[in-house]
Structure 1
Amino acid sequence: MSHAVQIYEAFCQNLYSDAEAKSETDRREDYRPYLAYRPCCVSNGGQVYLGLIKNQSANGAMIELVDQTNVSNLFALDQTVAYFWNSETRVSAKVVWREGNRIGLANERSVDPFANTKPFRSLRLPSATAAKFWIGNSCHVAPIENISMGGLCVRGLPDLPIGALLTVVLGKLEICNSAVRWKEGRRTGIRFQTKLNQQDLAQLCREQIVSSECVQFD
C-alpha cells in the first residue's frame, strides 16, 4: 500500500471519528472509499486539469492527474479547488495531500458520488474557444461548447446534412474525416472518426482551450 493511500485512509478514518452521531452502519457507508476509475476535471482558478478518480467517497476523492508528474507545483495544501465528472455535479474540495501526480481531496460538503441516474456519457470538457471547421474548400470559425474523446458540440456552423464530412482544427490538433451526427437549432454535434486519447485532451487543457469558467451545471 502506497504512502498516499495510507494518508487518504487515515483521513477518511478521522472524518469518521469526528462525524455527527449516526448509526455505526450509516457512518461507515459515508466515509468508505470506493474504487471508481472515473474520468474527471479538476479546476484550479481558470486552469482545468484532466484526471482520473481512482477512489471516492461521499466526503473526498483520490485523483490521478493525466500528463502531470509533480502536482506540488500546481496545488497548495489546504487550497480550495473544484472537480466534476458530469454536467450535474460540481464539487468544491480542499487539497489534503499531494504525491507525484496524485492529490487527495476533502469535499466541503457531502456528495453521493453515485447519485446520478442518467445513462453514462463520456466526460464533456467545457469550452468557449473558437475552432476552425473546414467544409470542402471553405473555412468556418465557430465557438465550441464542449469536447469529449468522441466528438464536440459547436454553435453557428452552416446548415449541414447529417453525415456531412469536415475537418476540425482545434488548437494544435487537426481532426480529419469528422462527421455531423446531430443538429439542434444553432447547435451541431460532430463525431470524430478516430477518438481522441487522454493525452490529446490533456493537451487541450494545457492550451486552455478547456475552461471551467464557461461550464454550466444543471
Structure 2
Amino acid sequence: MSISTRFAVDDGNAGKNTNNAGADSKLSTKHNLDVKGQERRAARRFLTAFRPGCIVIDNRIVLGLIRNMSMDGVMIEVDAPLKVGQRVAYFWDENRLVSASVAWSNGNRHGLENETEERVFDCRFSYRSVRVPCTMNAEFWVHGERHLVKMLNLSLGGMRIRAPQLQIGAPLTIGLCGVELYNASVRWSRQGEAGIRFAERLTLSQLTAILSHESVRFDPLVAR
C-alpha cells in the first residue's frame, strides 16, 4: 500500500514537473526571442539626420523633417495625422521612393518601418536638397511675356519645368500657388525641359505652403 501510494505521488509530481518544464521552456524561448529582438534593435545603425523629406499619403505630398534613420526605417517630424499600421511612402531625394508603414505615432513625430531594408545617406557626402516630383501648373514672365508651363519637380533652390527652348541665364519672375519669386534664372534648357534656379532659396514654410495647395499631386512618373 505504501509502495503503491509512493508511486502514485511520484507520478503526480512527475506530471507537475513535466508541466513546469514545458512552461519553463516556453518562458526560455520567449526570453531568447526578446533578447534576440533587443540585440537586433541594438545592432541597427541609427543616423541622426535633420534632413527635409516627404511623405506621400493618398497621392498627396507632405513635407517633413527626417530626424533619424536606419536601414529599417525613419523617424520623421511632419504635421499630418498618421495612424499606426497605415501604409505610406516617403523619400528624401528623387532617386528612391520607399514603401513603409507607420510603426508608432506621438504628436507630430512618427516612426516609419520600411517594407524592405533601404540605404541611408552618407554624411561624408553632400546631397542635393530634396526634389519633389509633382505635377502642377506654374507661370513665369520672361522678356515681358507670360507663359504657363507644367512643373515636373520642385526643391528649395529651384524647379524643373516642361517648356520650349529658353535662353540660358534669362531672368524670370515665377508664380507658384500664390507665391511670387523674382530674379530667378534659366540654368539649363534642352529637349523641351528647363531647369530654373531661384535667386533666393525657398524657406521650408514656403515649400510646405506650395505643396499643401490642392492642385499639387505626387507624380512618380516624373521622378528621377
TM-score by length of 2: 0.76
TM-aligned CA deviation for residue 88 of structure 1: 2.0
Q: Partners of 2:34 and 2:176 in 1: how far apart?
A: 43
Q: Give the conservation status (yes or no) of the 8 Å contact 1:128–1:214.
A: no
Q: Partners of 1:59 and 1:191 in 2: how far apart?
A: 35
Report what 1:112 is aligned to.
119
Report what 2:71 is aligned to.
58
TM-aligned CA deviation for residue 120 of structure 1: 1.5
SS in structure 1 opposite 2:219?
A: helix
TM-score by length of 1: 0.78
Q: Partners of 1:48 and 1:86 in 2: how far apart?
A: 13
Q: Which residue identity lines up with residue 63 of structure 2 in the other structure?
A: L
Q: Does 1:203 align with 2:209?
A: yes
Q: Does 1:17 align with 2:36?
A: yes
Q: Residues 112 and 38 of structure 1: is their aligned pair in 2 closer, same or farther, counting only changes over 3 Å? A: same
Q: Partners of 2:45 and 2:167 in 1: how far apart?
A: 50
- Identity within the alignment, %: 36
RCO greater where, 1 or 2, for CA within 8 Å and sep 6 or more?
Answer: 1
Report what 1:168 is aligned to.
174
Give the one of 88, 93, 101 matched to 2:95: 88
Give the one of 152, 155, 164 matched to 2:159: 152
Q: Does 1:97 align with 2:79?
A: no
Q: Partners of 1:184 and 1:16 in 2: how far apart?
A: 57
RMSD: 2.6
Give the gaps of 5 or more residues in structure 2: 1-32
Aligned runs of 1:121-132 on 2, under 5 Å? 121-132=128-139
Give the one of 162, 183, 187 matched to 1:181: 187
Report what 2:57 is aligned to.
44
Q: Give the conservation status (yes or no) of the 8 Å contact 2:103–2:112.
A: yes
Q: Partners of 2:82 and 2:35 in 1: how far apart?
A: 25
Q: Give the conservation status (yes or no) of the 8 Å contact 2:189–2:195.
A: yes
Q: Residues 117 and 29 of structure 1: is their aligned pair in 2 closer, same or farther, counting only changes over 3 Å? A: farther
CA deviations over 1:150-201 (Å, ceiling 9, x no partner): 11111123x3321111111111111111111111221111111111010011
Give the one of 192, 195, 201 matched to 2:198: 192
Matched positions, count:
192
Q: Partners of 2:137 and 2:143 in 1: how far apart?
A: 19
